[in-house]
Amino acid sequence: MKKINLLPNRDIMKTVSAIVLGGGRGTRLYPLTKVRAKPAVPLCGRYRLVDIPLSNCINSGVNRISVLTQFNSHSLNRHINSAYKFDEFSEGFVEVLAAEQTNETGDWFQGTADAVRKHFNHIRRHNAAHLLILSGDQLYRMDYRALLKTHLEKDADITVAALPVTREAARGFGIMKVNNHGGIRCFVEKPSEESLLDSLITPRKVFDDFGLQADGKEFLASMGIYAFKVEALERLLTENSNWVDFGKEILPNALKSHRIFAHMFYGFWEDIGTVGSYFNVSMDMTSSNPPFEFHDPKNMIYTHTRMLPGVRITDAVIKNAIVCSGSRIHRAEIINAIIGIRSIVQPGAVIHRSIVLGADYFEEPDVKSANPIGIGKNARITQAIIDHNARIGNNVIIKGSHRLKDRDGDGYAIRDGIVIVLKDAVIPHNAKIGDV
């Protein structure tokens, strides 16, 4: 097989399209997904989850991108239309493909593969030779050209991005068994038996071929990121309509008839599929040395550009925090927290280890609400997520804790020990929520 020594050139990249999967209900991220699609969930104050795969695509030279969704797609549509505009000469686009009724199909997406199947007529119109299948709820930075390089070198029908993990971590992932050439021989979901784990250890030659060291991470976990030959994907989608999921059905069955290889990725990667993982990775971003850097000038994370005033801070204590444009903070204490756009934090408020998503709009100056948008005077907020436009009254105490059980309340919910105040909710003065 002829080896390709360089990353794919522009002509080859013109044959590549991308699909971002965002059609699920996002139940594990509820209530953040109560009124928005999962890819539209805010991230680190000013981004959306969908900005991650879209930015990776743009930085990799992939500029024909479709986002599949079916639930609460309005805000996602609005974000994409305002943030991602290509000039007429690039022939690039980012489009939202929502579930739709046709003469052939009239039901909802039944899974990730079924979503692609139901929109394959649209995908075919782009005349792509290779298709990237990407998740809409992961935080990572990847040059997809490296993935495509492996895909082309191996003449693969399918290439799966693989994350090296430790033996202990392997018990919580879908693990791939590969041969000396990186060819995938089987997938094992969350292996636990020691003898089975021993059989899944990745050959050293595979690490050598990618120029990497195992460093105790000898197992390859599937990242849910795939490169397909379009013809191979079409064949797999049409030969059995009961195969509705890529990880559970398409890939395991394709092993019998298709060339499937692993592409090793060695970098930061985090699945943000639950409220707990979303909260924890957000808190990690507030540290002095975050595991993921949004400010990489060579590999930007793009988002909607807003015309907002600068942050106004007076007599406040702020440590290890992200504070976004349009916010006003007066005589408050903010430690290990994210303060989103247009946030108002009143005097005496204390916000520790929490996320305030901010507001969609500024209230008119002459509006004298008994409970204005933002964080009220002397409020105490710990281990919580405050969604857009929430009104937190004066002297409110909100405290999450691992001791709390999941439940829904009036204007809030508790998930994974975290208190989430719902979008547009009003928490009255002196209210106490959580472990108080």
Residue 298 inside a domain? The answer is no
Contact in structure between 337 and 287 (CB atoms under 8 Å): no
The single-letter DSSP state of residue 186 is E
403 or 75, higher pLDDT: 403
User: What SS3 class is residue 20?
Assistant: strand
CA proximity to 169, closest of 216, 224, 118, 231: 216
Residues 279, 326 within the same domain = no
Residue 292 inside a domain? The answer is no
Q: What is the pLDDT of residues 1-10, one digit of tens each?
A: 344 446 777 7
Residues 165, 221 within the same domain = yes
pLDDT at residue 107 greater than cutoff 80: no
Residue 139 inside a domain? The answer is yes
Residues 261, 319 within the same domain = no
| C-alpha dihedral (164, 169, 172, 175), degrees to nearest 10 | 30
396: its two tokens? 């409110």
Residues 164, 275 within the same domain = yes
Residues 225, 330 within the same domain = no
Where does a domain end: 284, 302, 335?
284
CATH number for the domain spanning 384: value is: 2.160.10.10
Burial code of 126-151, b = ≥16 C-beta within 10 A, e = fewer? Answer: bebebbbbbbbbbbbbbbbbbbbbbb
Chain centroid to CA 364: how far? Answer: 34
Give me the helices (H) in 20-59, please. 51-59
Residue 291 inside a domain? The answer is no
* Average of per-residue pLDDT across 26-32: 90
pLDDT at residue 242 greater than cutoff 70: yes
Which pLDDT score, from 0 to 100, does residue 101 have? 53
The single-letter DSSP state of residue 28 is G
Please state, in angstroms and rounded to a whole number, the distance separating the CA atoms of residues 92 and 89. 8
Give phi and psi for 230, each to the nearest 5: -60, -40
Residues 231, 108 within the same domain = yes
Give me the helices (H) in 194-250, please. 194-199, 204-209, 230-239
Domains in the chain, number: 2
Helix (H) or strand (E) holding 146: helix 144-153
Residue 303 inside a domain? The answer is no
Q: What is the pLDDT of residues 288-318, one digit of tens each?
A: 999 999 988 889 999 998 889 999 999 999 9
134: its two tokens? 């990407």
Contact in structure between 401 and 434 (CB atoms under 8 Å): yes
pLDDT at residue 269 greater than cutoff 70: yes
Chain centroid to CA 146: how far? Answer: 20
Residues 412, 268 within the same domain = no
Residue 300 inside a domain? The answer is no
* Average of per-residue pLDDT across 103-119: 72
* Average of per-residue pLDDT across 34-40: 90
CA proximity to 386, closest of 378, 395, 398: 398
Where does a domain end: 242, 268, 284?
284
Cα–Cα–Cα angle for 39, 286, 279, nearest 5°? 45
CA proximity to 9, closest of 65, 61, 84, 78: 61
Instruction: Quote the domain boundaries for residue 243.
Output: 10-284
Please state, in angstroms and rounded to a whole number, the distance separating the CA atoms of residues 358 and 342. 5
pTM comes to 0.92
Residue 88 inside a domain? The answer is yes
Label each residue of 325-387 as H, E or C. CCCEEECCEEEEEEECCCCEECCCCEEEEEEECCCCCCCCCCCCCCCCCEECCCCEEECEEEC
CATH number for the domain spanning 34: value is: 3.90.550.10
Residues 168, 249 within the same domain = yes
Pairing of strands 380-382, 350-356: parallel
Residues 388, 259 within the same domain = no
Chain centroid to CA 5: how far? Answer: 31
Residue 293 inside a domain? The answer is no
Where does a domain end: 230, 265, 284?
284
Which pLDDT score, from 0 to 100, does residue 104 have? 55
CA proximity to 225, closest of 190, 286, 274, 176: 176
Q: What is the pLDDT of residues 44-97, one digit of tens each?
A: 999 999 999 999 999 999 999 999 887 777 888 889 988 998 877 777 889 888
Residues 218, 181 within the same domain = yes
Residues 261, 338 within the same domain = no
Which pLDDT score, from 0 to 100, does residue 1 have? 37
CA proximity to 144, closest of 39, 61, 260, 50: 61
Residues 268, 316 within the same domain = no
User: What SS3 class is residue 241?
Assistant: coil
Which pLDDT score, from 0 to 100, does residue 297 have? 85
